[in-house]
Amino acid sequence: MSAQPVGVAVVGFGWMGRVHTQAYARVRHHFPELPVVPQLVVVADDVPGRAEEAAEHFGFASAARDWREILDDPRVSAVSIATPNFLHREVGVAMARAGKHIWIEKPVGLTADDARAVAAAVAASGVQSAVGFNYRHAPAVALAREKISGGEIGQVTHARFRLFSDYAASPDGALTWRYERARGGSGVLGDLASHGVDLVRFLLGDVESLVADTAVFITERARPTGATAGHVRIRGGDLGPVENEDYVSALLRLSSGARVVLEASRVAVGEQNNYGFEVHGTDGALFWDFRRMGELGVVGGTARQDEPVETVYVGPGAGMYGAFQPAAATAMGYDDLKVIEARDFLRSVAEGSSYGTEIRDAVRAAVALDAVIASAAGGGWVDVPTV
C-alpha cells in the first residue's frame, strides 16, 4: 500500500520552525516504512518577508503573515507550532479545535494552565499531539531507560540532572521575548529545566515533592529595535528589566523514593549545551552527556566499590539509532532527534494512536515547574500534584 500524503503547516519560522521543516523533509529518508508522506503546504510568520523566504527556500506551497489563515485551510491536516511561548496556548487551542493535529514546542505556554488548555482542546477534538522534548529520543537515553527499568543498576537511589548553557551569559544579549514574563514565561525553567523534568520522569518516574531556588543574575538588557531570531547581541539602546529566571536549582523527591538534584542555567559562562545526567543505583550507575550523545557511561559490576566506568558506544540496538547509522560509534546530532519526533508525530496522525511525547507530557512537566516557582517564592517544600 502506498504512503498517503499529509499536508503540514509550520507556524513560526525562527530557528525551531526551520528545524521542524528540515525534519519533515528528512523523515522518510530514515523511516521509509512511514505510512504517510508530509507535504509542506503553508508557512506562517508575522515578521515581514520571513514566511515568503522560507516558502521559497524550503518549498512550501504558500506563505502567510497570519497563522489564522491556516485554520480553515483544507490542505492542512497537521501543524508544527514553533512560536514564542506566549502564543502556544492561543495557537495550539485554535488549531486543535479546527481539527488539526499539532506538534508543539515545549514548554507549551507560560504556565500549567496554558498546557492544560491545549491538552483539553486536543482531547475534545480527538486530534493527535506531539511535544518537543527531544532529548529523551537520544539512543543512549533510550538505552539508559532500558537498563534502569530492567534493574541493571538495582534500585535507583539518587541522580543529578544538569542543563547549563551560555546563550544568555553576555550582558549584550538583547532583551527579546525570552526575558519577559508575559511573553517568555518562567525563563530558564521553561526553556531548559522543562527538558530536565521530562528526562527525570522518562527515566525515573513521577516527582512527588520538591524545594527550589531561582535567581536573575543579569538584571537589565538592551531592547532590540527590530525583529530578532535566536540569541542576538546588541550594544546601546534603552535598557529594560529581565523579568524571569536565569538560574534554577531544585531538590526532587520521587514517588519511587529516589532523590534528584536538578539544576539549569542560561548564564553559565564556559558551558555550551552542557546537558546530561548521572543516575546512581544500589548496583550500578549511568552517565550521559548530550555533547557526547552517542556514549553512555555504565557501572555494573558486583563489587559496588571501586568499580570502573565502562563507555558504551550506542549502536543499532539502542532506540532509533539504526534508522540513521549502520554501526556503533557513528555520531548522531540534534536535528536527528527532531526527525525522530517527526516520525512519531506522523505515525500518530496516520494510525490514530499516540507515539512518543504528547501533550500530557507537557502538562506533567508544567505542573512540576509551577511547583518550582511556588517553592522558590515561598522557600519551602511543595507537593507536585498528580496529573
> Is 342 within the bounds of a domain?
no
Query: Which amino acid, residue 27?
Result: V
pLDDT of res. 292 = 97
Q: Are 162 and 89 contained in the same domain? A: no
Q: What is the pLDDT of residues 36-77, one digit of tens each?
A: 999 999 999 999 999 999 999 999 999 999 999 999 999 999
Quote the DSSP letter at residue 12: -
> Is 339 within the bounds of a domain?
no
Q: Which of 134, 153, 177 is the last residue of a domain?
A: 134
| CA distance readout (Å), 148 to 131, 141, 145, 298, 319 | 24, 10, 5, 11, 14
Q: Which of 118, 134, 150 is the last residue of a domain?
A: 134
Q: Are 289 and 304 contained in the same domain? A: yes
Q: Are 30 and 128 contained in the same domain? A: yes
For residue 91, give the CATH number of its domain: 3.40.50.720
Successive 10-residue mean pLDDT values, the chain, 387 residues: 91 97 98 97 96 97 98 98 96 98 97 97 98 98 98 98 97 91 93 98 98 97 73 80 97 98 98 98 98 97 91 97 97 97 98 96 97 97 94
Q: Model-level pTM?
A: 0.94
Host domain of residue 128: 4-134
> Is 117 within the bounds of a domain?
yes
Q: Are 9 and 124 contained in the same domain? A: yes
Which cell goes with 2? 502506498
> Is 209 within the bounds of a domain?
yes
> Is 345 within the bounds of a domain?
no
pLDDT of res. 301 = 85
Which among 3, 32, 5, 6 is positioned nearest to 101, based on CA atoms?
A: 6
Q: Which of 88, 110, 134 is the last residue of a domain?
A: 134
For residues 306 and 325, what is the distance between their CA atoms, to the nearest angstrom?
35
For residues 110 and 89, what is the distance between their CA atoms, to the nearest angstrom?
8
Tell me how many domains the chain contains: 2
Which among 143, 192, 167 is positioned nearest to 332, based on CA atoms?
A: 143
Q: Are 43 and 111 contained in the same domain? A: yes
* Cis amide linkage into residue 107, ω under 30° from 0: yes
Q: Are 72 and 143 contained in the same domain? A: no
Q: Apex CA 54: angle with CA 49 and CA 60, to 5°?
A: 120
| CA distance readout (Å), 49 to 8, 65, 226 | 20, 9, 13
Q: Are 12 and 146 contained in the same domain? A: no
Instruction: Encode 341-356: b = buried (16+ Cβ within 10 Å), e = exposed.
Output: bbbbbbbbbbeeebbb
Q: Are 172 and 142 contained in the same domain? A: yes
> Is 104 within the bounds of a domain?
yes
Q: Which residues lie closer than 8 Å to 122 by C-beta, 6 or more apart?
A: 92, 96, 102, 128, 129, 359
Q: Are 128 and 141 contained in the same domain? A: no
pLDDT of res. 236 = 74
Kindly write down the DSSP assignment for every residue of 184-223, as one continuous string: H-STHIIIIIHHHHHHHHHHH--EEEEEEEEE-S--EEEP
Q: Are 22 and 168 contained in the same domain? A: no
> Is 44 within the bounds of a domain?
yes
Q: Are 205 and 101 contained in the same domain? A: no
Task: Please give the sequence-ordered ranges of beta strands (E in DSSP) within the chain, or none if there are none.
Answer: 4-11, 36-44, 62-64, 78-81, 101-104, 129-131, 156-164, 207-215, 220-222, 239-241, 247-254, 259-265, 274-281, 285-289, 295-299, 310-313, 382-383
pLDDT of res. 227 = 59
The residues with which 36 forms a beta bridge, in sequence order, are: 4
For residue 216, give the CATH number of its domain: 3.30.360.10
> Is 369 within the bounds of a domain?
yes
Q: Are 223 and 128 contained in the same domain? A: no
